[in-house]
Every structure is written in C-alpha cells, then in structure tokens.
Amino acid sequence: MSRTPSSSSPAASAGAPGQSSVQPVQADPADPAAAAAAARAGEGPSIAGVAERAGVSVATVSRVLNGHDNVRPATRDKVLAAIDASGYRVNELARNLRTAESRLLLTMVPDFGNPFYAEIVRGIDTVARQHGYFMLLCDTGADPGRERSYFDMLRRRRADGAICLDPATIQQALGEASQALPWVACCEFDPAVGVPYVGIDNYRAAGDAVRHLLARGHRRIGLINSDVDYLYARQRQQGYLDALSDAGIEPDPRWRMNLNSLDYEAGATAAAALMQQPDAPSAIFAVSDTLAIGVIHGLRSVGKRVPDDVAVAGFDDISLAAQIDPPLTTIAQPMRELGETAARLLLQRLANPQANVPGVLLPHRLVVRRSA
C-alpha cells in the first residue's frame, strides 16, 4: 500500500480529499477579535472570521480550503496564515448541507462481534477512508426492523450509501422499496433484487469441503448449518447435499441441524446433540468457523476426539482457526477483499448512479489442517 509522501497522515486528509490540510494550531489567546468570534460561534471561528482576519472574502477562503488553483499564491498564504493563527476548523455540518453529501458510508452487519464480519468491515473501512469517506458501522442483529430503520438513514441523507451484509431475505424486502437507493450487498445477495453484490460461490465451496471429507473416507457426514434465512446457508446446504449424492450417498436428514446463531456455544450444543443418536456422523461440516470451534468443544465434552473419532471442517478461515487444537480444516474466504470490493462497488455506484454495476464472485480455497 503506497502512501502520499507528504506530511499529512492518510487519515488526516480523509475528511476532505483533495484539499489543503488545516494544521492543528493553538489559537492566539491574546487576540480579542478571535476571542469575540469564538464566543459568538460557540466553537472557534467560522470562515467569515478567517476571511476578516486575512482581509479577503469568504469566497477566497473557501477556495483555499478546497484547494482551487485560481488563487494568487500571495493571497493563499495570507489565508493560510489566518487559518493557522485562528485555529480554524472547517465545519463539516455546513459543508455537508451545502454539498448535499454526508461522506458517510453505512455498513450493516448482523453481528460485528463475529470475527468473520470484523475482517470484512476492516476491508470496507480501508477503502472508504482512502476515498475520503467514513464508515458508520451498524449492528442489526439480523433484525428486519432495525435493518429497515438503518436503511432509512440513506433517505434522511445521514449516509451517502450503504453496504449490507444482512440476510438475503431481508435484502429482498428492502430491495422492493429501495431499488433506487445507493447500496450494495456483500456476502449475502439475491441476484434477482438487481443490486450490485460481491460474494463467493457458496455452493461450490461447500461441495469442496464435503468432497474433502469424503476423500478422507467419511460416509456419514453431518451438517451444522445456520438459519436458512441466509442465502449462504441454503447454498451451502445444497452443495453439501449434492456432493453426497454425487458420491452415491443418501444424505440422512438426522445428520443436519439448523441453528439460529453462529456463537461458539451454539455449535457446542448442536454437536453434542448430534452425537446422541445411533449411527452418529463420523465427520461434521460446520458452515462457519465459530460454529466449528464450538463443535470441537462440544465433541470433546461428550468424550469424542477430533479428528480421530469425528472429523470437523469449518468455513471462513478466521485467524483463530489455525490456533485452536486441533487446527481447523476450513474453507478460506477472502474476507478483506470481500469488504474492499464491496466498498469499491458502492463508490462506483455513487460516482455514477446510472452505471450498471456488476455482481462479482471471489475465489475461495480449501485449507487443510488437522481437524479433518
């Protein structure tokens, strides 16, 4: 990642891309005019105060602030000096109203405590900041009501665009009313909604995981899935089903479980339950690493060794996956890139509202470790 070799830090220029940096400077405590202006404004001087101090018009100050080049160097210096001396900071509330943009990007996640989302969010944040936007992170808890209310922030102009990681079912409902709103889908998407998206091929990825288990000689393979509200859950389930069928195995419904949570706890409980039945699976495919980690714990709690008694495969390849015992075999998703791509798609859509922004699928990868 290359950085501008100037003195301004990357984030410092973030708020106002392409504008001259305003240095943090102590206001001159002995200047009565500045003091009066400050008192009037409640908080530091306004652009008018700077103009007065520099002996120019507000228009000129604005030009300098925004890095326009039609300002005589001498004038610019005067203005810069006045800005410096007064400790002026641009009021983004005013600028935002005037330019009719908030420079905020909304990111809606079902659960930002989940390490999988955390990494995606980081990708979004990086790209957003590179382009002078800030990211407003919203935890929806996958609740349609909250989802909808956050979405409304777009209409209220509180955010310029949104990235949605919530279930496709929710997006669908949202989509009907909001085709025209500037948003993109990440990980979860319904191509039918007609909204730009980025994700992976969940069907094939799940198949890859199951085929790996099959290659290891397993025939009774369990599936610990999340809520089927999620598109990925349905797609991965289908991938699992078809991979088994293709291997000539009739999938037993008793091997499958649907959970309404991705917590470690949920995985542990489910695994223990799975093992209760006769002819229990000799391998388990969990649709998320957090679930898989819980599964390993649950297995251990009922006296099963991993992978000797039961093999476990996860999904996502969060950083933790390599650290647990045994290290987790899993499907790696390019989390960072997922986030970065989502942000870029959104920015693209913002820059050119009528452009036809595509859906994109990123590659996944099977990572074989010791758990399966």
Partner DNA sequence: TTGAAAGCGCTAACAC
Partner DNA sequence: GTGTTAGCGCTTTCAA
Footprint on this chain of DNA (rule: CB under 7 A): 41-42, 46-48, 55-63, 65-66, 70-72, 74-76, 90-91, 93-95, 97-100
Cα 87 to chain center, whole Å?
A: 35
Which of its own copies, DNA, none lies near 66, with the C-beta cut-off 5 to 8 A by kind? DNA
The angle formed by the CA atoms of residues 249, 250 and 253, to the nearest 5 degrees, is 130
Q: Which range of residues in 8-16, 55-63, 197-205, 238-246 is near its own copies by CB under 8 A?
A: 8-16
Nearest CB to its own copies, comparing residues 114 and 226 = 114
CB of 34 to DNA, least distance (A): 14
Cα 109 to chain center, whole Å?
A: 7
Nearest CB to DNA, comparing residues 44 and 144 = 44
Residues 330-359 that bind its own copies (CB under 8 A): 354, 356
What is the C-alpha to C-alpha distance for residues 256 and 126, in angstroms, rounded to an integer?
38
Q: Candidates 320, 362, 366, 367: give the one binding its own copies (CB under 8 A).
A: 320
Residue 65, amino acid: L
CB of 211 to DNA, least distance (A): 56
Nearest CB to DNA, comparing residues 78 and 349 = 78
Q: Do residues 344 and 303 touch, judged by C-beta distance below 8 A?
A: no
What is the C-alpha to C-alpha distance for residues 318 and 100, in angstroms, rounded to an integer?
39
Nearest CB to DNA, comparing residues 76 and 364 = 76
What is the C-alpha to C-alpha distance for residues 109 and 124, in angstroms, rounded to an integer?
12
Q: Candidates 170, 224, 286, 293: give the one binding its own copies (CB under 8 A).
A: 293
Q: Candidates 48, 153, 228, 350: give the one binding its own copies (CB under 8 A).
A: 153
What is the C-alpha to C-alpha distance for residues 310 and 284, in angstroms, rounded to an integer?
7
| 303 contacts its own copies (rule: CB under 8 A) | no
Can you list the alpha helix ranges (DSSP code H) found in the chain? 32-41, 47-54, 58-65, 73-86, 92-99, 115-130, 144-155, 168-178, 202-215, 231-246, 264-276, 289-301, 335-351
Q: Which range of residues in 2-10, 202-210, 233-241, 279-287 is near its own copies by CB under 8 A?
A: 2-10
Q: Do residues 237 and 269 touch, judged by C-beta distance below 8 A?
A: no
Residues 225-254 that bind its own copies (CB under 8 A): none
Nearest CB to its own copies, comparing residues 143 and 252 = 143
What is the C-alpha to C-alpha distance for residues 16 and 91, in angstroms, rounded to an integer?
11
| 118 contacts its own copies (rule: CB under 8 A) | yes
| 135 contacts its own copies (rule: CB under 8 A) | yes
Give me the 20-49 binding string for its own copies, x by CB under 8 A, dash otherwise. Answer: ----x-x---------------xxx-----
The full 3-state SS of 52-108, as one line of letters, equals HHHCCCHHHHHHHHCCCCCCCHHHHHHHHHHHHHHCCCCCHHHHHHHHCCCCEEEEE
